[in-house]
């Protein structure tokens, strides 16, 4: 079996495609193997997307891959509509909010700007390999030093403020700054979405800052929609791979990573076909990659323990409702394609929903994020908290109960929605796990938590993309900097592999 | 809300009596006990000199029931044991025992012990420190069962030149054909006993593995047969002398488990311990292999060496100097060996001492002579282990002493 490829990328999620494109553009012969019939992973299934609402692909990556930033970041960011108990919705775009009083508008604007400055400090690490614990290379140490410098350059007051809040919870921060309500609810939704944490959980300021650190041509912390929807992003990345001479195969699930002499040697597909390559990058979650595809026999016991005990419990369910007409908003107008709806009237509502899920139950009133796709005539809802380990399991009945409670909550923002729905699909965290190689059905392949970030992501000893078996790399959301659609994990992993020799 | 109290299993307070305790109590004139893994274990029963000389000249019984024992069984048992230890356990024959060490992911030694292989799929691990959670980590993902059988197996070490003859007197035909590190089953006083030709004395000897219910019956049979063979019950202190002579290391004395150290540099690698011969880097992945591969190419930062010291005073807890001035190490175990007539010790020496620099080494010994302390600098030199070697240890059949 002589290697026909320099590198195999397991999984054509956006990170896998970014990694493949980065390697291919450096002259490496790459092959992307995707188990499903569509590209783009959680972004890509046009029938039922796990992640219908991307954050922006990092501008640095767009530049490195020579993609069309205007196309990928759209002409303007999404506007967020957040609903309180009554009245008109608040309309938020970045640091600008309307529909509330002038003082809150001002306070929110100031808070958003401050968090943005503080998020930039974290942003310094996003495109870097996190330093090794105890044995950082010069380059890694330099990146950390750069972050320290940026921290200091915030000025004494703001640096102290960041250090004060960074490990605390978003509940305290937002109550101090803007008070509880639909505005705080929308921010707390950003801080908690995808994770097993409520606004009162420690570390939620950090996750909020993480979201704030996302970068697009319109500014930081914004959701953007590529022109042509998520498919346009997936197509742009896939085209980038093929244009650079890379191959992509769908319907080719990988069953095993082959190892020869303690080095990655290729993969074996479920069909039995073996494909050799000295470099294997896995876009699957760390647990699936290491415990299932590689196998624990190649790993030390402590490493396996840290891997299997890392937190990755999925907490989001996805629901698609087929609706012919754009849904009518409370207070007039209709939800359009450029808008994002948040139904989290208070932080307390999010916390209450989390309380049920903590103990394996579905909340009576889940909190929601929704968009309407006018072309597909579909309302896509992300509902939290829907625990992966739901008591009694994810039966059809459980899904029906969730769907009913989601429609009840939606009715507050979109009155009279239920009768207009003529088709419903529900995707539980278990479905996400089975369908996308994401252990626990976790969006980010692992909780974005202070003990699972930077040099501890996905866990201690595995944080620098390269795995103990030489030639094997993690390139998915489980690796630093983690989830959301930024492409940074795939980009960093590919660069780490190239730095290591690229084989 | 009313508090609900769950009944908790009563934990035994204080030291626990072992399976031979009744007999040990009867013989323990000194009433001198030490805590060995929660069991009351005799340190000296009579006088340490009598007990020590019985090891080298007669035969001795020592209760080793407190040793931690784990049964590792199932289709993947060999893979799991091979993944645990640094030796290539695939080469261990059925009915054989191997001395092994195991390491953490950084190549630091977790513990040492003996691996007993009963069949293709049945192993037993004997060691000093509890290892259950470690074994469960190592075995995760494999088709294997791990059970702590410490309390299900009583152990007796029968050691000394007359031990084989004693067993023959008991009617154990074929015991003389049992080779070192071999295992075989015999009947003693109607009880089935698994006997391995292993021990911690560097002498001819056996270890007997008995069901706790049979413990006293077997003990009594051995004691009765031992009358003419000079059988003596011994405690920890006499064994400690023999094990230093025999060149064996003792965890917590000569080295610390990587699991228990607070300061990470206090753990030891196999190369530092001089146990290179136990590391099979050419076998498939095992715990710590990658780190050990790196370590094998480097000079150890320090080395545990055997030294012989001038004059007769044992160098307990002594510091080691180069040219009498530069402190380069320390002694962990020391003994005036009555059999070898040598003043022996193990010492840790920081690199390069004990490796490229071996001359002009001195040990600082503190002596107390009727309250007055004196300090003596005694020259020492590196020697090979073991200090005590006797052909009867490996002779098969052993001589009829």
A302 contacts in chain B (CB < 8 Å): 104-105, 137
Give dist(CA A442, CA A436) in Å, integer: 10
> Which stretches of B182-266 are DSSP H helices?
215-226, 236-246
Interface test with B, best of A301, A460, A469 (most B CBs within 10 A): A301
Mean pLDDT, range B301-305, rounded to an integer: 96
The CATH architecture assigned to B299-388 reads: Beta Barrel (2.40)
A300 contacts in chain B (CB < 8 Å): 104-105, 287-288, 290
Tokens linked to A372: 């309407």
Q: How far off is chain B from A300, nearest CA to CA, in Å?
A: 5
Interface test with B, best of A262, A263, A294, A300 (most B CBs within 10 A): A300
Burial class (CB within 10 angstroms; exposed 0-12, middle 13-18, buried 19+) of B6 = exposed
Summarised one tens digit per residue, pLDDT across range B341-372 is: 999 999 999 999 999 999 999 999 999 999 99
Q: How far off is chain A from B41, nearest CA to CA, in Å?
A: 33
Least confident residue range of A201-215, A258-272, B223-237: A201-215
Computed over every residue of chain B, the mean pLDDT equals: 94
CB B115 within 8 A of CB B124: yes
Q: How far off is chain A from B135, nearest CA to CA, in Å?
A: 9
Contact check, Cβ <8 Å, A302/B137 = yes
Summarised one tens digit per residue, pLDDT across range B83-103 is: 999 999 999 999 999 999 999
Minimum-distance CB partner of B138 among A295, A301, A461:
A301
Minimum-distance CB partner of B285 among A291, A298, A305:
A298
The CATH architecture assigned to B21-65+153-234 reads: 2-Layer Sandwich (3.30)
Q: Break chain B into its structural domains and give their ranges.
A: 21-65+153-234, 68-151, 299-388
Q: How far off is chain A from B142, nearest CA to CA, in Å?
A: 9
| A-to-B residue pairs, Cβ atoms closer than 8 angstroms | 39
Angle, nearest 10°, between helix axes A102-123 and A138-153?
160
Summarised one tens digit per residue, pLDDT across range B148-171 is: 999 999 999 999 999 999 999 999
B79 contacts in chain A (CB < 8 Å): 297
B288 and chain A in contact, CB less than 8 A: yes
> Superfamily for B68-151?
Aminomethyltransferase beta-barrel domains (3.30.70.1400)
Summarised one tens digit per residue, pLDDT across range A409-420 is: 999 999 999 999
Whole-Å CA distances, A83 to A379, A433, B41: 17, 31, 73
Q: Which residues, 6+ apart, have CB-to-CB distance to A260 below 8 Å?
A: none
A189-223 in b/e burial notation, b at 16+ Cβ within 10 A?
Answer: bbbbbbbbbbbbbebbbbbbbbbbbbbbbbbbbbb
- Give residue B19's pLDDT: 96
Q: In the structure, what pLDDT confidence band is assigned to residue A3 with cuts at 50, 70 and 90?
A: low
A263 and chain B in contact, CB less than 8 A: no
- Give residue A338's pLDDT: 87
Based on C-alpha coordinates, what's the Rg of chain B? 22
- Give residue A148's pLDDT: 87
Interface test with A, best of B103, B140, B258 (most A CBs within 10 A): B140
Minimum-distance CB partner of B287 among A300, A308, A461:
A300
Residue whose entry in the numeric block shows the structure tokens 């903590």? A358
| B residues 86..105 contacting A (CB < 8 A) | 104-105
Mean pLDDT, range A190-197, rounded to an integer: 93
| B residues 331..370 contacting A (CB < 8 A) | none
ipTM value: 0.91
pLDDT reading at A334 higher than 60: yes
pLDDT reading at A194 higher than 70: yes
CB B90 within 8 A of CB B283: yes
Q: How far off is chain B from A344, nearest CA to CA, in Å?
A: 33
CB B68 within 8 A of CB B129: yes
CB A496 within 8 A of CB A465: yes
Residue whose entry in the numeric block shows the structure tokens 């595995």? A462
Residue whose entry in the numeric block shows the structure tokens 């080298």? B56
Dihedral sign for Cα atoms in the order A315, A321, A326, A330: negative
B287 contacts in chain A (CB < 8 Å): 300-301
**CA B174-B95-B113 angle, 5° bins:** 115
The residue in chain A having the minimum alpha-carbon distance to the alpha carbon of residue B141 is: A296
**Phi and psi for B379 in degrees, rounded to 5?**
-70, 145
CB B80 within 8 A of CB B144: yes
Q: In the structure, what pLDDT confidence band is assigned to residue A485 with cuts at 50, 70 and 90?
A: confident
Contact check, Cβ <8 Å, A300/B104 = yes
Contact check, Cβ <8 Å, B137/A304 = yes
| B residues 131..170 contacting A (CB < 8 A) | 134, 137-138, 140-142
DSSP states of B247-289 as a string?
T---BTTTBB-TTT-SSGGGB--TTTTT-GGG--TTSSP-TTH
Percent of chain A residues topping a pLDDT of 90: 78
- Give residue B8's pLDDT: 64
Contact check, Cβ <8 Å, B140/A303 = no
Percent of chain A residues topping a pLDDT of 70: 98
- Give residue A395's pLDDT: 97
Contact check, Cβ <8 Å, B287/A468 = no
Minimum-distance CB partner of B137 among A291, A301, A461:
A301
- Give residue A127's pLDDT: 87
> DSSP 3-state assignment of A453?
coil
The residue in chain B having the minimum alpha-carbon distance to the alpha carbon of residue A260 is: B284
B83 contacts in chain A (CB < 8 Å): 297, 301
Mean pLDDT, range A73-93, rounded to an integer: 92
Contact check, Cβ <8 Å, A461/B105 = yes
Contact check, Cβ <8 Å, B285/A262 = yes
- Give residue B3's pLDDT: 54
Tokens linked to B43: 């340190």
Q: Break chain A into its structural domains and give their ranges.
A: 7-70+228-310+437-499, 104-218
- Give residue B5's pLDDT: 61
Computed over every residue of chain A, the mean pLDDT equals: 93
Minimum-distance CB partner of B105 among A295, A296, A300:
A300
Least confident residue range of A49-58, A96-105, B161-170, B321-330: A49-58
Write out A188-223 in H/E/C secondary structure: HHHHHCCCCCCCCCCCHHHHHHHHHCCEECCEECCE
Mean pLDDT, range A211-240, rounded to an integer: 90
Instruction: Strands of A173-330 (E only): list them.
Output: 215-216, 219-220, 247-249, 254-260, 263-269, 274-276, 279-282, 316-323
Minimum-distance CB partner of B140 among A262, A296, A461:
A296
Tokens linked to B257: 């488990």
The residue in chain B having the minimum alpha-carbon distance to the alpha carbon of residue A470 is: B290
CB B301 within 8 A of CB B351: yes
A302 and chain B in contact, CB less than 8 A: yes
Give dist(CA B35, CA B66) in Å, integer: 10
Minimum-distance CB partner of A304 among B104, B141, B289:
B141
| Correct CATH for A7-70+228-310+437-499 of 3.30.470.30, 3.40.50.1950, 3.50.50.60, 3.40.50.20 | 3.50.50.60
Contact check, Cβ <8 Å, A301/B79 = no
- Give residue A129's pLDDT: 85
Is the pTM for the entire model greater than 0.90? Answer: yes
pLDDT reading at B63 higher than 70: yes
Q: In the structure, what pLDDT confidence band is assigned to residue A141 with cuts at 50, 70 and 90?
A: confident
Contact check, Cβ <8 Å, A297/B138 = no
- Give residue B2's pLDDT: 53
DSSP states of A144-170 as a string?
HHHHHHHHHHT-HHHHHHHHHHTTS-H
The residue in chain B having the minimum alpha-carbon distance to the alpha carbon of residue A301 is: B138
Q: In the structure, what pLDDT confidence band is assigned to residue B1 with cuts at 50, 70 and 90?
A: very low
CB B319 within 8 A of CB B330: yes
Give dist(CA B97, CA B85) in Å, integer: 13
- Give residue B6's pLDDT: 65
Contact check, Cβ <8 Å, A295/B141 = yes
């Amino acid at each position: 079996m002589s290697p026909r490829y320099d590198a195999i990328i397991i999984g054509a999620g956006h990170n896998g495609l970014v990694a493949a494109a980065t390697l291919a553009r450096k002259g490496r012969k790459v092959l992307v193997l995707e188990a499903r019939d569509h590209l783009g992973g959680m972004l890509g299934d046009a029938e039922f997307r796990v992640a219908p609402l991307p954050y922006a692909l990092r501008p640095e990556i767009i530049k490195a891959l020579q993609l069309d930033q205007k196309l990928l970041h759209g002409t303007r960011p999404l506007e967020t509509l957040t609903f309180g108990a009554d009245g008109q919705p608040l309309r938020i775009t970045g640091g600008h909010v309307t529909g509330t009083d002038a003082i809150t508008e001002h306070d929110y604007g100031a808070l958003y700007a401050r968090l943005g400055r503080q998020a930039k400090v974290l942003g310094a690490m996003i495109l870097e390999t996190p330093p090794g614990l105890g044995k950082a290379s010069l380059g890694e140490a330099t990146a950390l030093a750069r972050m320290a410098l940026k921290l200091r350059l915030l000025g004494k007051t703001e640096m102290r403020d960041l250090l004060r809040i960074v490990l605390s919870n978003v509940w305290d921060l937002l109550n101090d700054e803007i008070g509880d309500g639909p505005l705080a609810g929308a921010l707390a939704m950003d801080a908690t979405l995808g994770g097993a944490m409520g606004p009162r959980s420690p570390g939620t300021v950090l996750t909020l800052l993480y979201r704030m650190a996302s970068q697009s041509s319109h500014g930081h912390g914004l959701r953007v929609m590529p022109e042509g929807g998520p498919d346009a992003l997936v197509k742009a990345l896939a085209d980038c791979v093929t244009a650079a001479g890379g191959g992509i195969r769908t319907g080719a699930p990988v069953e095993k990573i082959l190892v020869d002499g303690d080095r990655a040697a290729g993969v074996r597909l479920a069909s039995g076909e073996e494909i050799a390559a000295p470099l294997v990058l896995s876009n699957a979650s760390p647990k699936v990659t290491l415990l299932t595809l590689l196998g624990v026999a190649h790993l030390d016991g402590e490493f396996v323990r840290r891997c299997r005990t890392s937190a990755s419990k999925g907490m989001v369910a996805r629901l698609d409702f087929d609706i012919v007409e754009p849904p009518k908003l409370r207070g007039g107008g209709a939800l359009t394609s450029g808008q994002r709806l948040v139904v989290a009237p208070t932080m307390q509502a999010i916390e209450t929903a989390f309380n049920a899920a903590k103990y394996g139950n579905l909340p009576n009133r889940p909190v929601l994020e929704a968009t309407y796709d006018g072309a597909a005539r579909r309302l896509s809802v992300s509902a939290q908290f829907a625990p992966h380990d739901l008591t009694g399991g994810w039966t059809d009945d459980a899904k029906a109960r969730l769907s009913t409670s989601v429609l009840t909550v939606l009715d507050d923002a979109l009155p009279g929605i239920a009768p207009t729905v003529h088709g419903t699909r529900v995707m539980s965290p278990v479905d996400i796990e089975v369908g996308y190689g994401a252990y626990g059905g976790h969006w980010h392949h692992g909780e974005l938590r202070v003990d699972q970030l930077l040099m501890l992501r996905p866990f201690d000893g595995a944080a620098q993309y390269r795995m103990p078996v030489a030639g094997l790399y993690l390139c998915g959301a489980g690796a630093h900097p983690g989830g959301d659609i930024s492409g940074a994990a795939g980009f960093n992993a590919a660069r780490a592999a190239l730095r290591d020799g690229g084989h | 809300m009313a508090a609900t109290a769950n009944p908790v299993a009563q934990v035994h307070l204080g030291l626990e009596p072992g399976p031979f305790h009744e007999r040990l109590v009867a013989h323990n004139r000194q009433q001198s006990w030490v805590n060995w893994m929660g069991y009351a274990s005799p340190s000296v029963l009579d006088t340490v000199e009598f007990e020590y000389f019985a090891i080298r000249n007669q035969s001795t019984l020592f209760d080793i029931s407190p040793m931690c024992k784990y049964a590792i069984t199932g289709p993947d048992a060999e893979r799991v044991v091979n993944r645990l230890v640094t030796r290539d356990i695939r080469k261990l024959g059925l009915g054989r025992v191997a001395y092994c060490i195991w390491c953490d992911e950084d190549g630091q030694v977790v513990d040492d012990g003996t691996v007993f292989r009963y069949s293709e799929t049945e192993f037993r691990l004997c060691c000093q420190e509890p290892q259950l959670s470690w074994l469960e980590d190592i075995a995760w993902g494999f088709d294997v069962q791990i059970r702590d059988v410490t309390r299900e197996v009583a152990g007796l070490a029968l050691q000394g030149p007359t031990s084989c003859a004693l067993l023959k007197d008991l009617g154990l035909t074929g015991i003389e054909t049992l080779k070192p590190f071999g295992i075989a089953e015999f009947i003693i006083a109607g009880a089935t006993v698994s006997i391995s030709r292993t021990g911690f004395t560097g002498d001819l000897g056996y270890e007997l593995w008995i069901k706790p219910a049979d413990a006293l019956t077997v003990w009594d049979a051995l004691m009765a047969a031992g009358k003419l063979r000079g059988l003596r019950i011994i405690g920890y202190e006499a064994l400690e002398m023999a094990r230093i002579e025999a060149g064996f290391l003792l965890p917590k004395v000569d080295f610390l488990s990587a699991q228990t150290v607070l300061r990470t540099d206090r753990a030891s690698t196999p190369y530092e311990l001089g146990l290179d011969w136990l590391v099979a880097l050419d076998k498939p992945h095992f715990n710590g292999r990658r780190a050990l591969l790196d370590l094998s190419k480097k000079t150890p930062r320090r080395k545990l060496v055997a030294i012989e010291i001038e004059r007769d005073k044992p160098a307990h807890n002594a510091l080691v100097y180069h040219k009498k001035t530069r402190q380069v190490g320390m002694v962990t175990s020391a003994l005036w060996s009555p059999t070898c007539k040598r003043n022996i010790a193990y010492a840790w020496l920081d690199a390069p001492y004990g490796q490229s620099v071996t001359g002009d080494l001195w040990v600082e010994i503190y002596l107390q002579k009727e309250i007055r302390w004196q300090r003596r600098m005694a020259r020492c030199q590196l020697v090979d282990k073991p200090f005590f070697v006797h052909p009867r240890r490996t002779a098969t059949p052993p001589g009829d002493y």
